[in-house]
Amino acid sequence: MSLRDPPGDSKEHPELLARAMVIMFSTLATRHLHLVNGISPVLASSAITLLTSTCIDRRLGQAALCGSLAGMSGMHLVPNLSMTALLGVATTASYELLISINNLFSGIGGRIGASAFLATSVMAKYQGIRFVGRKMRRGLWSSAGLSSIASTMVIYHAIGAALTIFLRQSSDVDGAADPVRGSSVVGLIGSVCLQNPMAILALYGGTFVGMSLPSRLTNGNAPGKRRQGKPQSALSLVASFSAAGAMAGLVHAFTIHSGYFKGGWGGKVGLCAFAGTWAFRGAASTAEFMSQRQK
């Protein structure tokens, strides 16, 4: 298992028309597969993303992922094809915004999902759908410990992140080292091997944390501001990604218990991964700062 950074998301993007067509197709196809055909939304999203990345163009994998995450929305958000197509347009605009500021979040997992979430939220606002629903009676934490929902989210997010970074570090450049392909492969395996829908979704959410660049997650290396971090073993690298995945799972569980973005909100799983990755980075930076002050 290599400890160097695997390839990040492709910085080369095909023409705007190609990106827009792929996003529109992915959004419509994912919505049709899981709402009409009854296929798991994770299976639909990961399969469409992987097929696009491997059979059409690796550079279009990010666009396919963004569109398919938006297409995972529930029936209340995309009740018909016209609203789904409109969501595809909004997702294209959000994805183009991501490309324009890509260096700002380069190497941080979950940013593609956050783009899909932004488009979905705009569509929800347009349709007058509330962002906050009814809270669950039981809180995230009680005297008995973490709720079953939180436990599932934390554990499987951590597993998804660990499996994805392990797969990326162990594969060649043309294989699952690509972050989009690595995420899709783990998502496919999880949707086939697991039976609990929440566990499948949590595992898929963890894969977005696993799409991060190790140097950015563990050392905070922003684009153009590389700094030398402490040498890491393979075990510590996987542990770091697992911890970041667990934080993402905790964020996702909080949204469920608090009633935020309920009923299948496209891109939400990616947004939680994005938040969890930043939370881990913030915690690591704080610990490093405190350690230096004590010296």
What is the Cα Rg of the chain in Å? 18
Structure tokens at 133: 């629903």
pLDDT of 247 above 60: yes
Distance CA 33, CA 45 (A): 9
* 110, 208 contact by CB (below 8 A): yes
Q: What is the pLDDT of residues 179-237, one digit of tens each?
A: 999 999 999 999 999 999 999 999 999 999 999 988 888 876 665 555 555 667 788 88
Residue bearing the bigger pLDDT, 102 or 149: 149
DSSP string covering 62-105? HHHHHHHHHTT--TTT--SHHHHHHHHHHHHHHHHHHHHTGGGS
Mean per-residue pLDDT, 259-281: 92
pLDDT in tens, 42-76: 999 999 999 999 999 888 999 999 999 999 999 99
Looking from the CA of 84 toward its CB, the CA atoms found within 13 Å total 25
**pTM over the 0.75 mark:** yes
